[in-house]
């Protein structure tokens, strides 16, 4: 058995727009990047259909295709893409010292510089009935799973842009969409609010939360509770979509990198530098503000440039 750790120049953890853009820049700068894709190769955009707001695509592009193209672009310049996960890290405190990473639980890697682009994941309500029925009618991705509920009645939880966008998407497939908004107003942009309010088969329930998801093996209904009156009501649905925001995928870096209270990695000033020399963070793992594919790609580019300067200074 080979017990020697593999020594690489640049390790990129995560394969969304941030990771692949970092890889394109790093590969072109001869930094020999190795990308570990993580559990969801291609990141969140692989769960989207049409991306209409990424510059350069006048007719839009579907998310999965865009991620395949980004990967191909990174590979064209020599990026090595590995389907696998970094499961632990040990960042060095000394400039110029390599950082240790463990891939897939056992493979040891030493990297001169590390770019973190692990993104964020959907949040769930974390009530027992919802947890039990995940995969049995409870989903956090309308675009991935909406198709299975064609012509059926479903509900969606959340009042942000994601919930509004997904409710609108589901309304085209499903016979009825009940939208549960916990406050007396939505957080979504006025345009999105207006859009969902005007779709006839979307019913918006304000001040309403999930009390329990009903069903043994699959979702059969929903008990809702009105937060003002305490009144409970049951409706028959076959699918429940959760669209209540995201959590950054930064657990493996806890205790080693500075983060905010939610777990977003803190970067220094206008750079992608973390508090560990040679470790850089980009994309949604460090951005709770903008969270767009184009901003993630932009910070991916910045991370590669920051890493390149770091390597040059520590050669
Ligand atoms: P947000 O954090 O903006 O909204 C989350 C929503 O879920 C809020 O309405 C929140 O309610 C609600 N919520 C949170 N926790 C619970 C809970 N436990 N039970 C019930 N409801 C809950 O997340 P989004 O994913 O919607 O959006 C994230 C960012 O991405 C935003 O900046 C958004 O503008 C952007 N975005 C932009 C899009 C576009 O421009 N096309 C599309 C999608 C997202 P409350 O308000 O009460 O806290």
Q: How far apart are CA 22 and CA 12, in angstroms?
A: 8
Residue 124: what are its φ and ψ, rounded to 5°? -115, 170
Catalytic residue chosen out of the listed positions 30, 52, 144, 260: 144
In this structure, the answer to whether residues 69 and 102 fall within a common structural domain is yes
Find the mean pLDDT for residues 258-282.
Answer: 97
Q: What is the token pair recorded at 105?
A: 């639980």
> Under DSSP, is residue 14 helix (H, G, I), strand (E, B) or coil?
coil
Q: Which of 189, 210, 242 is the last residue of a domain?
A: 242
Q: How far is the CA of 206 from the centre of ligand 1 (A)?
A: 15
Q: Is residue 166 part of a domain?
A: yes
Q: How far is the CA of 157 from the centre of ligand 1 (A)?
A: 10
Q: What is the token pair recorded at 17?
A: 């727009």
Domain interval for residue 165: 124-242
Per residue in 137-186, pLDDT tens? Answer: 999 888 778 988 999 999 999 999 889 999 999 999 999 999 999 999 99
Q: Whose CA is nearest to atom 33 of ligand 1?
A: 161
Ligand 1 nearest atom to the CA of residue 158, by list position:
7
Q: Is residue 1 part of a domain?
A: no
Q: Is residue 89 part of a domain?
A: yes
In this structure, the answer to whether residues 252 and 234 fall within a common structural domain is no
Task: With beta carbons less than 8 A apart as the criterion, state whether 247 and 263 touch.
Answer: yes
Query: b vs e for 14-25, b when ≥16 Cβ sit within 10 Å of the residue's Cβ?
Result: bbbbbbbbbbbb
In this structure, the answer to whether residues 151 and 199 fall within a common structural domain is yes
In this structure, the answer to whether residues 222 and 178 fall within a common structural domain is yes
Q: How far is the CA of 246 from the centre of ligand 1 (A)?
A: 8
* Residue 157 near ligand 1, beta carbon < 6 Å: yes
Q: How far apart are CA 15 and CA 35, in angstroms?
A: 7
User: 230 CB contacts (<8 Å, ≥6 apart)?
Assistant: none
User: 172 CB contacts (<8 Å, ≥6 apart)?
Assistant: none
* Residue 165 near ligand 1, beta carbon < 6 Å: yes
In this structure, the answer to whether residues 41 and 144 fall within a common structural domain is no
Residue 67: what are its φ and ψ, rounded to 5°? -70, -35
Q: Is residue 253 part of a domain?
A: yes
> Under DSSP, is residue 116 helix (H, G, I), strand (E, B) or coil?
strand
In this structure, the answer to whether residues 116 and 251 fall within a common structural domain is yes
In this structure, the answer to whether residues 116 and 13 fall within a common structural domain is yes
Q: Which of 242, 265, 293 is the last residue of a domain?
A: 242
Would you place residue 2 in the very low, low, confident or very high pLDDT band (cuts 50, 70, 90)?
A: low
Per residue in 84-112, pLDDT tens? Answer: 999 999 999 999 999 999 999 999 999 99
* Residue 291 near ligand 1, beta carbon < 6 Å: yes
- Tell which one of 160, 189, 193, 293 to mutate to probe ligand 1, the residue whose CB is within 8 A of the most ligand atoms: 160
Domain CATH code at residue 270? 3.50.50.60
Catalytic residue chosen out of the listed positions 62, 141, 161, 301: 141
In this structure, the answer to whether residues 229 and 158 fall within a common structural domain is yes
Q: How far is the CA of 303 from the centre of ligand 1 (A)?
A: 27
**pTM for the model:** 0.77
Count of domains for the chain = 2
Query: How many other C-beta atoms can be found within 10 angstroms of the C-beta atom of residue 277?
Result: 18
Q: How many CA atoms lie within 13 A of 140 on its CB side?
A: 15
In this structure, the answer to whether residues 156 and 297 fall within a common structural domain is no
Strand partners of residue 234: 223
What proportion of the chain, given as a percentage, has pLDDT over 90? 84
> How many residues comprise the chain?
315
- Tell me if residue 174 is catalytic: no
Q: Is residue 39 part of a domain?
A: yes
- Tell me if residue 141 is catalytic: yes
* Residue 158 near ligand 1, beta carbon < 6 Å: yes
In this structure, the answer to whether residues 117 and 253 fall within a common structural domain is yes
In this structure, the answer to whether residues 168 and 85 fall within a common structural domain is no
Q: Which of 188, 210, 242 is the last residue of a domain?
A: 242
- Across the chain, what does the average pLDDT equal? 95
> What string of DSSP letters covers 218-241?
S--EEEEEETTT--EEEEE-SEEE
Q: Is residue 153 part of a domain?
A: yes
* Residue 163 near ligand 1, beta carbon < 6 Å: yes
In this structure, the answer to whether residues 81 and 182 fall within a common structural domain is no
Q: Is residue 285 part of a domain?
A: yes
Per residue in 60-77, pLDDT tens? Answer: 898 899 999 999 999 999
- Tell me if residue 145 is catalytic: yes
């Amino acid at each position: 058995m080979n017990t020697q750790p593999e020594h690489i120049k640049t390790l990129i953890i995560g394969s969304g727009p941030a990771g692949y853009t970092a890889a394109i820049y790093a590969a072109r700068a001869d930094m020999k990047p190795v990308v570990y894709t993580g559990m969801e190769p291609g990141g969140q955009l692989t769960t989207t259909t049409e991306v209409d707001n990424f510059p350069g695509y006048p007719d839009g592009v579907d998310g999965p295709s865009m991620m395949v193209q980004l990967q191909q672009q990174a590979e064209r310049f020599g990026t090595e893409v590995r389907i696998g996960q970094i499961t632990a890290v040990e960042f060095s405190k000394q400039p110029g010292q390599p950082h240790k990473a463990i891939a897939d639980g056992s493979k040891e890697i030493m990297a001169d510089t590390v770019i973190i682009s692990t993104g964020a994941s959907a949040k769930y309500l974390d009530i027992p009935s919802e947890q039990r029925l995940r995969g049995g009618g409870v989903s956090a991705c309308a675009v991935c799973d909406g198709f299975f509920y064609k012509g059926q009645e479903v509900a969606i939880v959340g009042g942000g842009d994601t919930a509004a966008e997904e409710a609108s998407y589901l309304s085209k497939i499903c016979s009825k969409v009940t939208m549960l908004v916990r406050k007396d107003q939505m957080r979504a942009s006025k345009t999105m609010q207006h859009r969902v309010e005007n779709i006839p088969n979307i019913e918006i329930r304000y001040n309403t939360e999930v009390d329990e998801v009903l069903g043994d093996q699959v979702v059969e209904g929903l008990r809702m509770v009105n937060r003002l009156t305490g009144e409970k009501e049951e409706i028959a649905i076959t699918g429940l979509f959760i669209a209540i925001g995201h959590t950054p995928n930064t657990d493996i870096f806890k205790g080693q990198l500075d983060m905010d209270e939610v777990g977003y990695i803190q970067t220094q000033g206008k750079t992608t530098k973390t508090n560990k020399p040679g470790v850089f963070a980009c994309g949604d793992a460090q951005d709770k503000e903008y969270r767009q594919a184009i901003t993630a790609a932009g910070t991916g580019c910045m991370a590669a440039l920051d890493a390149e300067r770091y390597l040059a200074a520590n050669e």
